[in-house]
Structure 1
Amino acid sequence: MTDTVSFGYQDIDASEKAGRVRAVFSNVAAKYDLMNDAMSGGMHRLWKDRFVRRVKPRAGELILDVAGGTGDIAFRMHASGAAITVSDINPQMLEVGMERARKKGLEGLIWAEENAETLSFPSASFDAYTIAFGIRNVTHVQQALNDAHRVLKRGGRFFCLEFSTTLWPGFSDVYDRYSHTMVPKLGKLLANDEESYRYLIESIRRFPDMATFKGMIDKAGFVQSNVEPMLGGLVAIHSGWKI
């Protein structure tokens, strides 16, 4: 049977997804902050601050930030003194991140072009693994979770920030209307790219709900997994430990 996966509301051959996702993020790399502002009304900045507080990076730790090309999470962790490797499948996103780091005067970050499903790092390499708004773009999510578990040391912690489905009555309908109608139009206005923004909204709708994704984290071998919903689950922080 053909291995099919979702790409927005389409079902496509799995072999096509990485290339299509790479094209989307090549298109939006230069406007990444504007994209996140458009999709979240600027609230992504607060969500990322809260996410990093949950990670609690510490001096001397080795942390892998996956799908973190533009540096938003890594920059927030930098002051902790942790040694941070930023990985992303998209070289254009990494270029944006490296340029932003240069302008901010942040040194010591390691930048690596990597596929989250098949990381090149040795097993048991990192104290923590972070991924923010990236896991839903992976072709095989379970495989990426399995590899996250592999590269963590015993006692290592996994943290994922991702959009989900809000459980608040009424708010879900309002956000659906906003995201499906306004965000693509904002993409056209701000980045002259309506279709990439449309995919990003559709990819949220196709991503597993909080309970299902928690089960996938458990299946990868993590223990004491937890879900911290925000805005009723519109966004959630997922976490787990490797023992």
Structure 2
Amino acid sequence: MTDTVSFGYEDVAPEEKTRRVGEVFSSVAAKYDLMNDAMSGGLHRLWKDKFVRRVKPRAGEHILDMAGGTGDIAFRMAPSGAAITVADINPEMLAVGVERAAERGIDGLVWSEANAETLQWPDKFFDAYTIAFGIRNVTDIPKALREAHRVLKRGGRLYVLEFSTTQWPGFAEVYDAYSHKLVPKLGQMLAGDADSYRYLIESIRRFPPMPEFERMIREAGFTQTKVEPLLGGLVAIHSGWKI
């Protein structure tokens, strides 16, 4: 790992990013849906539905939903009957998820505080590993991908939903203007926190392009990797298998 990593448009020490990302998500935890609505125009709900259809959770499987604290992905997978562990490094995010699960009457989920870079589960433990809109906030992404590979069984599958860079002519410029100029203002108006929303937008711009991130997944040991761009690549579903 390099001496510095990106925190939005800044380059900071790894431990500094970990601390500051934690502060961001502690700040926005209670306004998670508003945050995602502001960043996606509400489309994140449809993207998450499609993401879970790609995962195809099944009864009897053990699935780790990493960085899934508020439960959005786990709630969508729960009807499948799979045994789902929701993990997040941020206890405030997990607290929101536990409360939301109780409100929805969703039982049986396991909630666990965990760092994606140093997972506490043994080798070959899970059938699937999911992470939605969380990988770009990890301090050491290659290390987190290697950990995902380690805890998956042979034949296990990785699914990553993350913002990327749209390749549609004209749309990239429109979204860039919207995200940089309007999203922080919405963050201030809706959550009283423009800076956290500004970081989240900047973190998208610093995230590797689709081909580079796919290469990182392969280098972590996954095979049969695939990228499914949505809205021309504004968001992408990445997947890979452990064999």
Shorter-chain TM-score: which interval?
over 0.9
- CA-based RMSD of the aligned residues comes to 0.8
- Which residue of structure 1 lines up, in the alignment, with residue 68 of structure 2? 68
Partner amino acid, structure 2, of 1:165: T
User: Does 2:53 match 1:56?
Assistant: no
* Matched position secondary structure for 2:102: helix
* Matched position secondary structure for 1:92: helix
- Which residue of structure 2 lines up, in the alignment, with residue 106 of structure 1? 106
- Structure 1 segments unaligned to the other structure (5+ residues): none
Displacement after TM superposition at 1:184 (Å): 0.1
- Structure 2 segments unaligned to the other structure (5+ residues): none
- Which residue of structure 2 lines up, in the alignment, with residue 166 of structure 1? 166
- Which residue of structure 1 lines up, in the alignment, with residue 145 of structure 2? 145
* Matched position secondary structure for 1:79: helix
Relative to the length of structure 1, the TM-score reads 0.99
* Matched position secondary structure for 2:80: coil
Relative to the length of structure 2, the TM-score reads 0.99
* Matched position secondary structure for 1:3: coil
The sequence identity of aligned pairs, in percent, is 74
- Which residue of structure 2 lines up, in the alignment, with residue 85 of structure 1? 85
Aligned residues: 243
* Matched position secondary structure for 2:5: strand
* Matched position secondary structure for 2:213: helix
* Matched position secondary structure for 2:158: strand
Q: Deviations over 1:195-228 (max 9, x none)?
A: 0000000000000000000000000000000000
- Which residue of structure 2 lines up, in the alignment, with residue 241 of structure 1? 241
Displacement after TM superposition at 1:17 (Å): 1.0
Displacement after TM superposition at 1:136 (Å): 0.1
Please show how residues 192-231 of structure 1 align to structure 2 within 5 Å.
Answer: 192-231=192-231
Q: Take 1:104 and 1:18, find their aligned partners in 2: how far apart are those partners?
A: 31
Partner amino acid, structure 1, of 2:75: F
Q: 1:110 to 1:12 in 2, by over 3 A?
A: same
Q: Deviations over 1:83-134 (max 9, x none)?
A: 0000000000000000000010000000000000100110100000000000
* Matched position secondary structure for 1:116: coil
Q: 1:2 to 1:65 in 2, by over 3 A?
A: closer
Partner amino acid, structure 1, of 2:118: T
User: Does 2:115 match 1:126?
Assistant: no
Q: Take 1:207 and 1:162, find their aligned partners in 2: how far apart are those partners?
A: 9
Q: Take 2:217 and 2:14, find their aligned partners in 1: how far apart are those partners?
A: 21
Displacement after TM superposition at 1:2 (Å): 6.8
Partner amino acid, structure 2, of 1:229: P
Displacement after TM superposition at 1:72 (Å): 0.1
Displacement after TM superposition at 1:234 (Å): 0.3
Q: Take 1:195 and 1:84, find their aligned partners in 2: how far apart are those partners?
A: 33
Q: 1:2 to 1:144 in 2, by over 3 A?
A: closer
